Structure 1
Amino acid sequence: MAYLTAAELATRYGQDRLIDLTDRDGDGLADDPMIAQALADASAEIDGYLAARYRLPLPTVPAILARIAGDIAIYRLLSLRRMGDIEDARRRYEDARRLLEAISRGTVSLGLPAALPPEQQPGLSLAAAKSGPAPVFGPDQMGGF
């Protein structure tokens, strides 16, 4: 699910900033595929956290997730540049990641209905479905057999 568009990213951070971050060929234009990839990466990272608690895709995009997606996308774009350019983006990224962890734990709300209908409840992930109790018989329990 996309949480932010390239146009919304430009509104949040400024088109000049996006050009500065992505104009590798010096033509004065932002590199749209690079921006799209950063936004896709941000959305995938967000989905990784939300899937533990919410059925995806979400029915609406809460404003907090749009902001987090922007911070993560800018961090990803800045990570391709010199190390000195990244400190503010790193702080914002770490803040965004901590916020996603809090959302995943349920200590921060997305403002969505607390009790989702059964068809909207998150299902078990493949990892959760495949994991289960520890095996009863293993090398330690078999006594050398």
Structure 2
Amino acid sequence: MYASLEDMVLRFGEREVRTLTDRDNTGEIDAAVLAGGLQAASDEINGYIGGRYTLPLPVVPSNLRGIAYDIARYRLTGTERVCTDEIRGRYRAAIRYLENVANGWVTLATTQNGGTLQGNAGAAFFSGRRIWGRNQTGGGGF
């Protein structure tokens, strides 16, 4: 996963994370509900970047953590949890970013050594020997 419970609390505060996850009104953060939201966010991210990068990534770029926060937050809203314009806007911005990564217009952040993660997209063309030509037909003309 790209983010953790602790990451979500640091990013949005305990009160908001509790509001997003406490479906049984216990007054506590429901770690299982949060884990489901974070897994959904990671799966969505992987769906976009998996065609360009080898998964799992060797290092999770900090920008993907931010994307995971915003996607998980959006995914945890619903029937009883209000999806605000801010939450929806941040989700849409996250998806636009992932679409740009998938299209190769944006590369993911750096590795631990300071380099850029290398994508695995591209095409290779190979030429074989000619299998049909004038000399193979046994005739020279009409």
Bucket of the pairwise TM-score, normalised by the shorter protein: 0.7 to 0.9
Distance 1:52 1:121 in 2: 8
Deviation (angstroms), 1:80:
3.9
What stretches of structure 1 of length at least 5 have no aligned partner?
A: 124-145
- For the pair 1:65 / 2:64, whether they are aligned, the reply is yes
Which deviates further from its counterpart, 22-31 or 67-76? 22-31
Residue in structure 2 matched with residue 76 of structure 1 by the alignment? 75
> Is the contact between residue 51 and residue 122 of structure 1 (CA under 8 Å) also seen in structure 2?
no
What stretches of structure 2 of length at least 5 have no aligned partner?
A: 123-142
Letter paired with 1:5: S
Deviation (angstroms), 1:121:
3.7
Letter paired with 1:85: C
For residues 86-134 of structure 1, the C-alpha deviation after alignment (integer angstroms, 9 at most, x for no partner) is 3221111111000000011111121345584xxx8469xxxxxxxxxxx
Give the alignment's TM-score, normalised by structure 1: 0.73
Residue in structure 2 matched with residue 142 of structure 1 by the alignment? none
Query: What number of residue pairs does the alignment pair up?
Result: 119
SS in 1 for 2:58: coil
Letter paired with 1:99: Y
Distance 2:18 2:50 in 1: 33
Distance 2:100 2:67 in 1: 13
Q: How does 1:104-143 map to 2 (within 5 A)?
A: 104-112=102-110, 113=115, 116=118, 121=120
Deviation (angstroms), 1:63:
0.6
Letter paired with 1:62: P
The structure with more helix, counted as a fraction of residues: 1
> Is the contact between residue 55 and residue 122 of structure 1 (CA under 8 Å) also seen in structure 2?
no
Larger radius of gyration: 2
SS in 1 for 2:48: helix
Deviation (angstroms), 1:52:
1.2
Q: How does 1:13-92 map to 2 (within 5 A)?
A: 13-81=12-80, 85-92=83-90
Runs of 4+ in structure 1 deviating by more than 3 angstroms, as ranges, are 112-116, 120-123
For residues 55-96 of structure 1, the C-alpha deviation after alignment (integer angstroms, 9 at most, x for no partner) is 1011100011000000000001113435x5332211111110
Give the alignment's TM-score, normalised by structure 2: 0.75
Which deviates further from its counterpart, 105-114 or 64-73? 105-114
